[in-house]
Amino acid sequence: MPVPKVTFIGAGSAVFARQLMTDILAIDGLDEGVFALVDIDGSRLDLARRIADRLVELTDKRWKVEASTDRAEVLAGTDYVINSIEVAGLKNVRHDYDIPLRYGVDQCIGDTIGPGGIFKALRTGPAWLEIVADVARLAPNARILNYTNPMSILTLAAIRKVDLPVVGLCHSVQGTSRQLAGYLDIPYEEMDWDCAGINHNAWFTRLERRGEDLYPRLRERVHDPEIYEQDPVRFEVMLHLGAFVTESSGHFSEYVPYFRKRPDLVQRYARAGYLGESGFYANNWPRWRRENDESIEAMLRGEKEVPLTRSFEYGADIIEAIECRRKKSIHGNVLNNGAIDNLPGGGCVEVECVVDGSGIATKRFGPLPEQLAALNRAHMAVHELVVEALLKRDRSTAKYALMLDPLTAAVCSPEEIDRLFEEMWAAEKESLPAFD
């Protein structure tokens, strides 16, 4: 009987790969298979291989581990490709934050939208499109699971490039739903909800417990400072636009023109860390990456326990549903082929999907409340332009995308956006060879 082969592209992001391998090894009854690890950084690939071997040993399952710096050596026979690549991130993370800030565009994360997110897409997209083309050529029966940001842009680019099943996976829906149960002080299992939109901008349009609408209770909880201070931006959005959104306060504040366009607004609504701290990602990500690698080395030396608890990531749920014929519900980033009525058809949306032995099927959601759909559509236009820029290798189209970015447009004039784009392009040109 064939066993599943799961290929990790960008496996050198070893903490992430470690968790997904842990999740897959925790699937009851899926006792054998192949992990194929790929990374162009040999030292980080070796770290991923060693922790993979250790995980298999600890779980006493019959999974084999392969590793290569050349994906062509291991893609054949792959059933699932899991993408977590990072392209020239360390080299450019300061440019992504520092240059926009000089123009008044203050980012907290800046890896998914805004100037930082758009340029990350321009750096990452060409390599990603080469990867999916190789998957189509060498593993034509594979399913592609993308975890790399910018999620919507890269997932949509892959959908446009290859005729294979592609789904983008994030943890914001399942994470936020659990946060909401905590804010409401109710057991998570007792909460019923609907959620749809786009990645990092999906909306909980229904929150119920035994048929009772929970939104009046949630709006009342906002008056408790201990609750409000945990999520200021998202609570403000809920109060004024009618629904709770899936991404953290700090990251979501970059998606809309309301909270970061003036220093006084940043001071009023931003808090430390993921709640909106200026430059939080740029100032900390290089250290986080180093510390994550050191943590895995400590696990391998036996100085730190190797966690074996399954997470809430959807990757293993998809594999379990297909391989073990156990139906699962996930929220995936997929082609909008009639799922959300008032978002552009052919764009990338985040909606509930049902997964079973036949694959991933998108559930129809219907229309979003118009004020929420309008915010989503603004970003889908940016996504469309960046994907066009990637497919055509057209820098002018990429500049148009930045012109439409909601936060950048709230802060800068078109002439300033032009100068901002050109300054970032000059600083990051070595990392944009596909556009030469």
Instruction: Tell me the percentage of the chain whose pLDDT exceeds 90.
Output: 98
- Average confidence score pLDDT of the chain: 97
Question: Over the stretch 17-56, which tens digit does the pLDDT of each residue have?
Answer: 999 999 999 999 999 999 999 999 999 999 999 999 999 9
What radius of gyration, in Å, describes the C-alpha atoms of the chain?
A: 21
- Domains identified in the chain and CATH numbers: 90-114+169-278+313-436 (3.90.1820.10)
Q: What is the pTM of this model?
A: 0.97
Provide the annotated active-site residues: 171
Instruction: Tell me the percentage of the chain whose pLDDT exceeds 70.
Output: 99
Question: Over the stretch 59-68, which tens digit does the pLDDT of each residue have?
Answer: 999 999 999 9
Output DSSP code: residue 167. Answer: E
Helix axes 414-428, 89-102, angle to 10 degrees: 150
Local confidence band at 1 (pLDDT 50, 70, 90 cut-offs): low
Closest CA to 197 of 385, 315, 347: 347
Given this model, what pLDDT does residue 16 score?
82
Residue 240, judged by CB atoms within 10 A of its CB (0-12, 13-18, 19+), counts as exposed
Read off the pLDDT of each residue in 236-255 and give the average, rounded to a whole number: 98
Angle at 87 between CA 309 and CA 415, to 5 degrees: 125
